[in-house]
Chain A
Amino acid sequence: QKEVEQNSGPLSVPEGAIASLNCTYSDRGSQSFFWYRQYSGKSPELIMSIYSNGDKEDGRFTAQLNKASQYVSLLIRDSQPSDSATYLCAVISTGGFKTIFGAGTRLFVKA
């Protein structure tokens, strides 16, 4: 079992729709969770962090965390073509020094 799993996609949504990206992780002791966005040929950039169960909203982005289910998700409301990128789920391992990335989900937003 991979430590951090994501559906590789591609996930295609029409402009204005909600894009839902999912991630599961295997280390039950993980405490910190992040979503990074990576445009083709560019470096990853942090878009959301979440540490507690529940939802965290920032603009059009909502991160959801369920530690019991070892599941974290990212919702993008009113998706725009500029949201088209690969979204990487990242989890800090127990102990706190190692970040484990998922393989990423490619998102396409069709105009």
Chain B
Amino acid sequence: DTAVSQTPKYLVTQMGNDKSIKCEQNLGHDTMYWYKQDSKKFLKIMFSYNNKELIINETVPNRFSPKSPDKAHLNLHINSLELGDSAVYFCASSQGGAMIYEQYFGPGTRLTVT
């Protein structure tokens, strides 16, 4: 009964490759997020979707492209991977409404680019 799930858990790939990370939530939430946590453990938002609509797009290279086929899914595709993309990527979801956005995180995907 995992609330927010991500696949894969680990991803090791070479520079220049294209890869995707998938996220699914079964909480009935209408907002989903992608975060990047770097080696210094700083958690930074990348994208946010509300009801399949992109509402936050931080300063992220356009090699990163999110896609939300429905409210329960948010995928992240990364083109032309670079060494600096190595990090842990977390998906999260929340129930939108009046500034109350408690977020629930997936287990993370550890991406290593060699």
Contact = CB atoms under 8 A, between A and B. Distances in A.
Contact of A101 (B44, B50, B108): B44
A38 B45 CA distance: 16
Interface in B88-104: 90, 98-104
B102 A49 contact: yes
B56 A44 contact: no
A51 B100 contact: yes
In the complex, which range does the number of interface residues on chain A fall in? 20 to 34
Contacts of B108: 42-43
Contacts of B43: 44, 88, 101, 104
Interface string A32-47: 1010001000111110
In the complex, which range does the number of interface residues on chain B fall in? 20 to 34
A46 B94 CA distance: 12
Contacts of A14: none
B105 interface: yes
B56 A43 contact: no
B50 to A, nearest CB: 7
A86 interface: yes
B102 A103 contact: no
A62 interface: no
A32 B101 contact: yes
Interface in A28-66: 31-32, 34, 38, 42-46, 49, 51
B25 interface: no
A99 B41 contact: no
Given A43-B108, A101-B44, A96 B90 contact: no
Interface string B31-43: 1010000001111
Interface in A84-111: 86, 88, 90, 92, 96-101, 103-104
Interface of A: 31-32, 34, 38, 42-46, 49, 51, 86, 88, 90, 92, 96-101, 103-104
Interface of B: 31, 33, 40-45, 48, 50, 55-56, 90, 98-108
